[in-house]
Structure 1
Amino acid sequence: MTLYNPLTANLTHYLFFTGKGGVGKTTMATATAVQLADAGKRVMIVSTDPASNLQDVFETKLSNQPQSVPGVSGLDAANFDPIVAANEYRESVVAPYRGVLPEAAIQNMSEQLSGSCTVEIASFNEFAKFLTDPTIDQKYDVIIFDTAPTGHALRMLQLPSAWSNYLDQNQEGASCLGQLAGLGEQKATYQKAVDTLNDANLTTLLLVSRPQWASLVETERAAEELAQIGMTNQQLIMNGVLEHPTDEPSQVIFDQQQADLRNMPTSLQSLPSAEVPLRAYNVTGIANIRKVLQTQQPSVTAESSPQTQFPSIDKIVDDLIKQNKKIVFTMGKGGVGKTTVAIQLAKKLAAHHKKVHLATTDPADHLSLFKIDDPAITVSHIDEKQVLKHYQDEVLAKAKQTMSADDVDYIAEDLRSPCTQEIAVFRAFADVVAQNDSDIVVIDTAPTGHTLLLLNSTENYAEEVKRTTGEVPQNVLDLLPRLQDPKQTEIITVTLPETTPVYESLRLNADLDRAKMPHKWWLVNQSLLATQTTDPVLQARASSELKWINQVKAVSNSYYAVEKWQPNFEQVNLTF
């Protein structure tokens, strides 16, 4: 794999850097922007990440208006806050109905527009301005987007009823398409934006990954999802490749990375790809941004890491047993190790003579890669396609009994939206939890805060939303109060000791607060600091973890644990 060089990478006018939290999207985007600007290109870089560290990387204050970056001639930058944009978007949708609909309905609409769907749509709204404004198009040679819109948002935007006046005429329905209620007047702009994203001559999608199995699997999923909706001009950037191991932990990491790169998914192997070695320094400030893609790097001197003792996952297990919890979720963004944590919890609980039901809804079914032969653990995989089809058939069958043909057509379209899949999966969760075959249920790949908000709304306003979700099953009605009961339920936030994963976890916790879901414990996974490495590069990386571990300790009120980095942890048979 060759070194990544933007000047020789055959890039287009628009560049979208995408990838899971913590893989280095902003680092790659800013390094690309600076190198292209230094080569004489007129460049704009835009971020809409709610936890954006674009300002920190450039060490300059940014706003939603393009401004020059000090020290880099020809480079402008803008940083949008999609949370603010989402609030403004939500108000634009709800405002026309104030004084027209009952307050309960207004509250319902606002709550439905409080989740991640709305943030994605509001983010895309900002992206669209830069994708369709002819003045911006002509001013810059290259326009770079950090944190690209997801396939989830784009699939919603491609549903025809996003542009119809159905929602204006049907005020009692609450659906996934309700997220798009304010977009009808912008049909031409959004259509042009989507067309631009799908034009391989104009747009390149740069998939940023780490050389680790979990990250590669998540990257493959994103690549396939975005290709399905037209973004086929893709390149792969492998960030953080360790080059010269000097101690046992670094040698193990090196061997693991090389093995995972040799066995990366076939679909990724076919993409144009390049790598960026693991750097010992934090990529902040123009000087370090310029260095990150250079072949010659400064020498690194080993420094002693702080001697620290962190609480382990056993502390969490002891508390789960003491509190007699019945339902445990592992929540977090892709690539943080939710599956391995869920398995550790299940095995440790079983070792304490608990009968455990371990479930996952991950389409890749990572649980199948583990050898879990403990008779005290029952394993199940919720097949998303199967439960989605069952849910769609059920809702349509009921709709046809009472609705006109036009309304049934609308319902059928809404059922093809990505939010419907989340609701169908959550109903399957309800069935799993309702079983009485275990003392405790451990659920991997939990539903997002957005889904929980939708279902909470479904419970409170069942009559209003029945048109789009059908009758609410008793299992769901019973489940939600249980999930909100801290005596029964515990949600464990799994994160990594890095900027983006911690900020994303904080946003997830805010969603859970709105959904009134108990989430006391945090687990910081895959810590290099906890390995006590002596490798100069890894030591430098490890020392930067302490800040984030301490932040987790603070926000969790010391209800936290730290697990050290382990090789190929995602694929090994866990034994205790």
Structure 2
Amino acid sequence: MSARLLLFTGKGGVGKTTLAAATSAALAAGGRKALVVSTDPAHSLGDAFGVTLGVEATEVDAGLHAAQVDPRALVDGSWRELRGHLRTVLAGAGVDELAAEELTVLPGVEELLALTEVRRLAVTGPWDVVVVDCGPTAETLRLLALPEAVGSYLERLFPTHRRVVRGLLAGLAGGAASVERWDATADALGRLAERLDQLRGLLTSADTSVRLVLTPERVVAAETRRTVTALALQGIRVDGVVANRLVPDPGGDTGQAAAWLRTRRTEQEAVLAALADLGPVRTVEHRAAEPVGVPALLAVADALYRGADPLAGDGADEPLIAVDRVGDEYELRLSLAVGDSDLDLARVGDDLAVTVDGRRRLIALPSLLRRCEVVGAELDDTGLAVRFRPDPDLWMR
């Protein structure tokens, strides 16, 4: 049974590493076996604990372990063999050697392997919870989209039916390669496809959620809103938003410093109010000293969770997609915080293509709606509602 997976991400410099470390420390202090692992290339997790970390889990405190994934080592290890198998497939399909070499250079493969390593730790380790300190938001969105993107690439390159029917492989090779070689390639790519399916399943599982960290600034808040929508499009649950570095309330103090704090605090509270539609936003005040070490991190966790269970998320548990009957029509509802984003819809065969701010996702329609035509769409506070009407030419088929 896999561990609960909690991913922290946010714009660079907002303090996500500190909050991920603080959360894992609080979980361990509460009696859970916790592992916190960093996939951020900056690797500042060890600095937060004040210890040196490596690729193997290091015990930082009772019940608390930490590690840093090394994507480059993973590429040098497992990816080299898989890349060779991909070249075999391309060569068998008639692609020349140089082009095959270029086509097997997949962007983001380091991040994909890092995510695979996180899954391995979550599934095989003795942990109750695995907390992941991800890279900055843009990198994380690309990271979380990779299993589906690479899976689609693999399916187009080497379809499932071709991997299963081994005899076709030798035919593709035109007699130039042995059946054994093609069998080895089919086995390797089959394992890769299976791993990608497992990663997709892990990311969309009810046991996985994302916590978004921001500082109360308008630019950062706008990026956070876009991230919520992008993750929802991928079927990944956001269970909380944390505003870090809220300046202290000066109260009734007077003077220049107090006036500055009061003005800044008012600006920050206005930003938080604008995010109210995303659900409760937890806050952590700015600290005079940088929190380093488990005791300091536990103090941050106390301020963040205020006695609540760190695993109890604040986000809604509504499904991404729901279908209801409305009179003679059907309504497909997508729980997306679209707001002022640019939205585009298109029907692509049996899929609904949803594009928000340039980020596109194909959503497979339920079988019922595949025999319908789109007749309208509406946006409201709860998301996007797309209306379908049965197509007479298809309904009885």
Q: TM-score, with normalisation over the residues of structure 2?
A: 0.59
The alignment partner of 1:147 has SS state of strand
Kept after mapping to 1: 8 A contact 2:20/2:133: yes
Q: Residues 243 and 183 of structure 1: is their aligned pair in 2 closer, same or farther, counting only changes over 3 Å?
A: farther
Per-residue CA shift, 1:132-175, capped at 9, x if unaligned?
A: x2x42xx222221111783434444235634537249899xxxx
Among residues 121, 132, 138, which one is paired with 2:112 in the alignment?
A: 121
The alignment partner of 1:31 has SS state of helix
1:150 match: 140
2:218 match: 213
The alignment partner of 1:230 has SS state of coil
Q: Residues 43 and 156 of structure 1: is their aligned pair in 2 closer, same or farther, counting only changes over 3 Å?
A: closer
Percent identity reads 27
Kept after mapping to 2: 8 A contact 1:66/1:78: yes
1:553 match: none
How far apart, CA to CA, are the structure 2 residues paired with 1:207 and 1:194? 20
Query: For residue 157 of structure 1, what is the amino acid of its counterpart?
Result: P
How far apart, CA to CA, are the structure 2 residues paired with 1:183 and 1:213? 45
How far apart, CA to CA, are the structure 2 residues paired with 1:82 and 1:365? 37
Kept after mapping to 1: 8 A contact 2:231/2:238: no
Among residues 264, 281, 284, which one is paired with 1:253 in the alignment?
A: 264
Among residues 296, 318, 330, which one is paired with 1:288 in the alignment?
A: 296
Among residues 110, 124, 141, which one is paired with 2:128 in the alignment?
A: 141
How far apart, CA to CA, are the structure 2 residues paired with 1:295 and 1:192? 36
Once the 2 structures are TM-superposed, how far is the Cα of residue 17 of structure 1 from its aligned partner? 1.2
How far apart, CA to CA, are the structure 2 residues paired with 1:183 and 1:37? 39
1:80 match: 69
Alignment of 1:476-491 (within 5 A): none
Kept after mapping to 1: 8 A contact 2:147/2:199: no
Alignment of 1:507-546 (within 5 A): none
Query: For residue 141 of structure 1, what is the amino acid of its counterpart?
Result: D
How far apart, CA to CA, are the structure 1 residues paired with 2:76 and 2:264? 43
Once the 2 structures are TM-superposed, how far is the Cα of residue 364 of structure 1 from its aligned partner? 9.3
1:196 match: 202
1:19 match: 10
Alignment of 1:196-345 (within 5 A): 196-200=202-206, 202-245=207-250, 246-264=257-275, 266=277, 268=278, 270=279, 272-295=280-303
Count of paired positions = 282
Query: For residue 225 of structure 2, what is the amino acid of its counterpart?
Result: E
1:3 match: none
Q: Which has the higher helix share?
A: 1
How far apart, CA to CA, are the structure 2 residues paired with 1:102 and 1:197? 36
Query: For residue 147 of structure 2, what is the amino acid of its counterpart?
Result: L
Once the 2 structures are TM-superposed, how far is the Cα of residue 263 of structure 1 from its aligned partner? 2.0
1:58 match: 49
Per-residue CA shift, 1:288-330, capped at 9, x if unaligned?
A: 223323459xxxxxxxxxxxxxxxxxxxxxxxxxxxxxxxxxx
2:365 match: none
Alignment of 1:310-389 (within 5 A): none
Q: Residues 208 and 295 of structure 1: is their aligned pair in 2 closer, same or farther, counting only changes over 3 Å?
A: closer
How far apart, CA to CA, are the structure 1 residues paired with 2:295 and 2:142? 36
Query: For residue 282 of structure 2, what is the amino acid of its counterpart?
Result: A
How far apart, CA to CA, are the structure 2 residues paired with 1:417 and 1:125? 27
Q: TM-score, with normalisation over the residues of structure 1?
A: 0.42
Structure 1 unmatched runs, 5+: 1-11, 172-181, 297-362, 367-382, 394-408, 423-576
Kept after mapping to 2: 8 A contact 1:156/1:162: no
Once the 2 structures are TM-superposed, how far is the Cα of residue 258 of structure 1 from its aligned partner? 1.4
Q: Residues 264 and 295 of structure 1: is their aligned pair in 2 closer, same or farther, counting only changes over 3 Å?
A: closer
Q: Residues 93 and 61 of structure 1: is their aligned pair in 2 closer, same or farther, counting only changes over 3 Å?
A: same
How far apart, CA to CA, are the structure 1 residues paired with 2:288 and 2:75? 37
Q: Residues 209 and 225 of structure 1: is their aligned pair in 2 closer, same or farther, counting only changes over 3 Å?
A: same
Kept after mapping to 1: 8 A contact 2:22/2:300: yes
Q: Which has the higher strand share?
A: 2
Structure 2 unmatched runs, 5+: 160-168, 174-187, 251-256, 305-337, 360-397
Query: For residue 65 of structure 2, what is the amino acid of its counterpart?
Result: D
Kept after mapping to 1: 8 A contact 2:215/2:245: yes
The alignment partner of 2:113 has SS state of helix
Kept after mapping to 1: 8 A contact 2:10/2:224: yes
2:102 match: 108
Once the 2 structures are TM-superposed, how far is the Cα of residue 233 of structure 1 from its aligned partner? 4.8
Query: For residue 148 of structure 2, what is the amino acid of its counterpart?
Result: Q
